[in-house]
């Protein structure tokens, strides 16, 4: 307690009475603060970016799809029976929030001046349309059902710009099989998610229209989309689905299969996973910066307080007591740096979250501004980890105290 009391007095005086020592204390404090702020901001940005992109990918595709085995790896879906019995069995599985039938038909959109290929997905009243609705730029989400044709089409901003159409305009969709089949649509709404590959390739209409175009029986669909209550249990739920339906045959002899969103888009999730490695590198570098600045500051303080150390030893203080004194001082400096680093990080994170100060090119990064996400477990882990590692590193420079002799140090200037 006595050594910590003296450490607090030295800390209150700025580390020592010398200019070099005060400067070293300030640099050590700011070094720890800046390094910690960089760590917290980096983690917030990476986790925010991962969450933003993942949510958009999940919005376009279901967490798990049940489909025909022949559809795996193909752009064209083969039909499979998705009757009420199958939907009920899937809905009863733990962690399954909703089950929706779907159909997808590749085709070509055409106006008098432009045309382009696109995949039109048919959705019904059981489909979760909240993702599309949250990203609408113009128009209102049509009421899509499985019992009537709406004549409406929801397209992306990229498609609308390329086709030079807007809400209320008429476009024609052509579908090529043995014969060319055409459908007339009115643009009901325009959405934008900034996921370029998805925006440019997907449009939505009612499942009734697409189902009739496919020419399938009433219970046949491209498959069923499952959305989960907890995405973190994706692998466990996929195993439940596999055990429930895989390798079973429908009434037409077709085999059921299933796949997760990670299996459908492995390159995107692998890319998001690589961002964790970037965070690890940043954390290691910033911890090293914190340790280096704190150690340098403590060494300067010890060397400038050589006279003080000699007097303490002459009065009977042991080397271990003097070392604990300077270790306590170092810990107080580190704690102040951690507090300042947290304040700096959270101010910058708040400003970015509220005002989007740092913008990005959505064509490249899929988002219009740098996203941030505060995970309090990560914040606590970084704060505690920085405090522990930096404090342990201070043990090394504190051994300099053992080499200071009272007879010489008292005369030290």
Q: Which of 238, 214, 21, 242 is nearest to 101 (CA)?
A: 214
Percent of the chain with pLDDT over 70: 89
Q: Hey, which residues does 103 pair with through a beta bridge?
A: 122
> Residue range 395-407: average pLDDT?
69
Mean pLDDT along residues 381-393? 90
The CA-atom distances, in angstroms, between 340 and each of 12, 191, 328, 337 are 16, 42, 18, 5
- What is the C-alpha separation between 394 and 387, in angstroms, rounded? 11
Residue 9: pLDDT band (50, 70, 90) is: low
Q: pLDDT tens digits for 286-327?
A: 999 888 888 888 787 777 776 776 767 666 667 777 777 777
Whether residue 113 has pLDDT greater than 60: yes
Using alpha carbons only, how large is the chain's radius of gyration in Å?
Answer: 32
How far apart, in whole angstroms, are the C-alpha atoms of residue 214 and residue 212?
5
3-state secondary structure 43-55: HHHHHHHHHHHHH
What's the pTM? 0.81
DSSP 168: T
Judge whether residue 225 has pLDDT over 60. Answer: yes
What does the alpha-carbon distance between residue 90 and residue 86 come to, in Å, rounded to a whole number? 6
Name the nearest CA neighbour of 194 among 46, 48, 367: 367
């Amino acid at each position: 307690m006595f050594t910590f009391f003296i450490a607090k007095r030295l800390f209150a005086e700025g580390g020592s009475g010398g200019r070099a020592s005060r400067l070293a204390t300030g640099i050590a404090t700011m070094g720890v603060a800046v390094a910690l702020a960089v760590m917290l901001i980096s983690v917030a940005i990476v986790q925010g970016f991962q969450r933003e992109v993942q949510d958009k990918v999940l919005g376009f595709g279901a967490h798990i799809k049940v489909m025909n085995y022949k559809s795996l790896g193909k752009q064209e879906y083969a039909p499979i029976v998705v009757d009420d019995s199958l939907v009920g069995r899937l809905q009863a599985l733990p962690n399954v929030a909703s089950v929706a039938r779907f159909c997808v038909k590749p085709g070509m959109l055409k106006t008098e001046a432009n045309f382009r290929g696109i995949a039109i997905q048919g959705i019904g009243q059981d489909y979760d349309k909240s993702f599309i609705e949250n990203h609408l730029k113009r128009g209102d989400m049509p009421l899509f059902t499985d019992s009537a044709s709406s004549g409406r089409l929801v397209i992306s901003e990229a498609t609308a710009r390329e086709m030079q159409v807007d809400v209320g305009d008429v476009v024609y969709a052509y579908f090529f099989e043995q014969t060319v089949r055409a459908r007339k649509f009115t643009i009901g709404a325009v959405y934008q998610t900034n996921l370029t590959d998805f925006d440019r390739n997907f449009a939505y209409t009612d499942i009734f229209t697409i189902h009739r175009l496919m020419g399938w029986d009433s219970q046949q669909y491209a498959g069923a989309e499952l959305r989960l209550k907890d995405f973190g249990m994706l692998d466990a739920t996929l195993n439940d689905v596999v055990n429930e339906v895989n390798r079973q045959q429908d009434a037409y002899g077709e085999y059921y299969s299933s796949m997760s969103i990670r299996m459908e888009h492995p390159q995107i999730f692998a890319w998001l996973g690589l961002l964790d490695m970037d965070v690890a590198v940043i954390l290691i570098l910033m911890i090293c910066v914190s340790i280096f600045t704190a150690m340098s500051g403590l060494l300067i303080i010890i060397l400038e307080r050589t006279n003080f150390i000699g007097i303490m030893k002459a009065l009977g203080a042991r080397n271990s007591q003097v070392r604990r004194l300077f270790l306590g001082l170092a810990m107080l400096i580190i704690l102040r740096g951690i507090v300042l680093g947290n304040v700096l990080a959270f101010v910058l994170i708040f400003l970015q979250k509220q005002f989007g100060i740092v913008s990005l090119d959505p064509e490249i990064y899929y988002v219009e501004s740098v996203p941030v996400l505060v995970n309090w477990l990560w914040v606590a882990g970084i704060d505690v980890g920085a405090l522990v590692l930096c404090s342990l590193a201070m043990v090394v420079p504190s051994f300099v105290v053992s080499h200071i002799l009272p007879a010489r140090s008292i005369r030290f200037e």
